[in-house]
Amino acid sequence: MCGVFGAYSPSDFVAEEVYLGLSALQHRGQESAGVAWIDNNRRVNTIKGMGLVHEALSQSVLAETPVRSAIGHVRYSTAGGSMLQNAQPICANYAQGPVAIAHNGNLTNFDELRGILENRGAIFQSTSDTEAILQLLAHQPKRSPFEALLRALAEVRGAYCLVVLLEEGLVAARDPWGFRPLSLGKRGDNYYVASESCAFSLLGASLVRDIAPGEVVLINGNGVTSYSLPIKSPKKWLCSFEYVYFARPDSVIEGRSVYGTRQEMGRKLAMSWGASGADFVASFPDSGTTAALGYAQASGMPFKAAVVRNRYVGRTFIQPTQKVRELGVRIKLNPCPELFRDRSAVLVDDSIVRGTTAGLVVSMVRECKARSLHLRISSPPIKYPCFYGIDTPSSGDLAAAKCDEDDMARTVGADSLHYLSKEGMIEAIGLPPDSLCTACFDGEYLEGAKSFNHPPGCCGGIFD
Ligand code: 5GP
Ligand code: SF4
Ligand code: MG
């Protein structure tokens, strides 16, 4: 999972705004950050680094960079390792001019495309799937960069939200299935593109609309021009997990407030699995808090902020090993003993992946001598891996792939454990079921669906 941001202004310098936009998208990726722009000599420039936005980039340097269009990226690796080489935007000065690309998502036909391109002489500089798009572009040297990009995108499959910088303008593109969110924002004559609308508020910009699945938007002195990719998919595949966990609650995706959908998930969970006789509801902060508030509201129980989060340690998944991951949860979350002692509590979290967080929090609360503990999860069990840009482990490491609710309750040490149903989650999101991806919950992948009738990797006719 990653965050992308782009800015275009007819009059203002925007590099610092890209920095600020990336800071608002920091939750989408903490491994590396980068900003790219095109200079007066028609060369693409980039600043990239490992770590958080403020560690990787210099705000003061960007504030003094006099450019009217720039793009940026925060990375959380799914395809390709965590190293500076794979940090984005990825950039090139090729036969037709400068190009910079920032990508959120995962291409599912990358291996095939890479094979075809290497047979044509391409030398890949990174292990990132995004490079395939750049190579496809560069292998069409007689076409304008924008036309070459449109043709390249007709060849790639899977999940992508892109911001691309060309001499022709700032480009935003969303795959025909609409896996990841991408929004268009505006302030005066300035345009912004961001993975999530929460990045606009910081800049005093407002959300205009979502970029539609299969839409490519070109922003330049002529304003905003919209193009459609040739691939049409009757079913859309917007990631339901964005609403469950990934997006920030102050974002609006497809007209649905993430905060509102999470609260509704909690309400529905309480309506199905209210724990009678508990004294209060608490959450695994921060990710479970909005759903816990909804749960408390619907069940009539008070909400208590009884598990405290250390704000200064990052998201647990960032740590690579199981040992460090487990330590990370202990460093991050700690219960208030006096609130739990001799009390019965409902604990709400948004999801169980490996089961590490739930197991450790329950055991810490047990040490506080709680009378009973009821775990409620505001998403369905995650049983299948994601191939569309979220770093869930393979089925073997997904706790829910191996056990039902009772087994899971025993494993993590809770007196009861229940999940929100898939139907409940979809109702809470409030979008039609055929507009959402739920593959990690039900195993129904795009590649197995009837709407995926476009064989990957043909590249017929795009090379001259
Ligand atoms: P577990 O400890 O079961 O492996 O992971 C569950 C916890 O991780 C939950 O509290 C949830 O909020 C969080 N989580 C779920 N999916 C992801 C993800 O893709 N990345 C990160 N960093 N955390 C996640
Ligand atoms: Fe989102 Fe799950 Fe689909 Fe991946 S498989 S895109 S995490 S809903
Ligand atoms: Mg969490």
Strands (E), 31-141: 32-38, 44-50, 69-75, 90-94, 97-104
Residue closest via CA to ligand 1's atom 11 equals: 351
CA 219 to mean position of chain CA atoms: 24
What pLDDT does 76 receive?
Answer: 86
**CATH class of the domain whose range is 262-429:** alpha beta
Give φ, ψ of 171 to 5 degrees: -115, 140
Would 2-237 and 262-429 be classified into the same CATH topology? no
Q: Which of 2, 198, 437, 440 is catalytic?
A: 2
| Residues contacting residue 121 through CB under 8 Å, at least 6 positions apart | none
What pLDDT does 316 receive?
Answer: 44
Report the C-alpha gap between 423 and 365 in whole angstroms: 31
Angle between helix 405-412 and 356-367 (nearest 10): 50
316 CA closest ligand 1 atom index: 22
Q: Are 371 and 342 in contact (CB under 8 A)?
A: yes
Write down the domain spans for the chain.
2-237, 262-429
Architecture label for domain 2-237: 4-Layer Sandwich (3.60)
Strands (E), 76-160: 90-94, 97-104
Residues facing residue 6 across a β-bridge:
71, 193
Distance linking the first and last C-alpha atoms of the chain: 34
357 CA closest ligand 1 atom index: 2
Residue closest via CA to ligand 1's atom 24 equals: 317
pTM of the model: 0.94
Which ligand gives the minimal distance to the CA of 158?
2
336 is catalytic: no
3-state secondary structure of 136: helix
A 10 A CB-CB count for 64 gives 11
Closest CA to 268 of 119, 128, 403, 421: 421
Q: How far is the CA of 351 from the centre of ligand 1 (A)?
A: 7
Closest CA to 160 of 70, 220, 73, 226: 73
Q: How far is the CA of 439 from the centre of ligand 2 (A)?
A: 6
Give φ, ψ of 246 to 5 degrees: -75, -45
In a mutational test of the pocket of ligand 2, which residue from 1, 238, 241 has the highest number of ligand atoms less than 8 Å from its CB?
241
Residues facing residue 219 across a β-bridge:
170, 224
Report the C-alpha gap between 436 and 82 in whole angstroms: 29
Alpha helices in 179-228 (DSSP H): 198-201
Report the C-alpha gap between 31 and 397 in whole angstroms: 22
Report the C-alpha gap between 450 and 156 in whole angstroms: 18
Q: Are 245 and 262 in contact (CB under 8 A)?
A: no
Q: How far is the CA of 309 from the centre of ligand 3 (A)?
A: 10
Which ligand gives the minimal distance to the CA of 358?
1
Enter the tokens of residue 139: 């292998």
Q: How far is the CA of 287 from the centre of ligand 1 (A)?
A: 9
391 CA closest ligand 1 atom index: 19
Report the C-alpha gap between 406 and 277 in whole angstroms: 20
Q: How far is the CA of 316 from the centre of ligand 1 (A)?
A: 7
In a mutational test of the pocket of ligand 2, which residue from 386, 391, 441 has the highest number of ligand atoms less than 8 Å from its CB?
386
pLDDT tens digits in sequence order for the chain, 464 residues long: 899 999 999 999 999 999 999 999 999 999 999 999 999 999 999 999 999 999 999 999 999 999 999 999 999 876 666 788 889 999 999 999 999 999 999 999 999 999 999 999 999 988 889 999 999 999 999 999 999 999 999 999 999 999 999 999 999 999 999 999 999 999 999 999 999 999 999 999 999 999 999 999 999 999 999 999 999 999 999 999 999 999 999 999 999 999 999 999 999 999 999 877 899 999 999 999 999 999 999 999 999 999 999 887 765 444 556 766 666 677 789 999 999 999 999 999 999 999 989 999 999 999 999 999 999 999 999 999 999 988 888 889 999 998 999 999 999 999 999 999 999 999 999 999 999 999 999 999 998 765 454 554 456 678 76
Enter the tokens of residue 65: 């960079």
Q: How far is the CA of 438 from the centre of ligand 2 (A)?
A: 6
What pLDDT does 302 receive?
Answer: 97
Closest CA to 36 of 130, 108, 158: 130
Enter the tokens of residue 109: 């036909």
Closest CA to 87 of 130, 55, 135: 130
Report the C-alpha gap between 57 and 33 in whole angstroms: 7
What pLDDT does 317 receive?
Answer: 46
User: 179: Cβ below 6 Å to ligand 2?
Assistant: yes
The ligand 1 site (C-beta within 6 Å) comprises 245, 284, 287, 315, 317, 349-358, 390-391
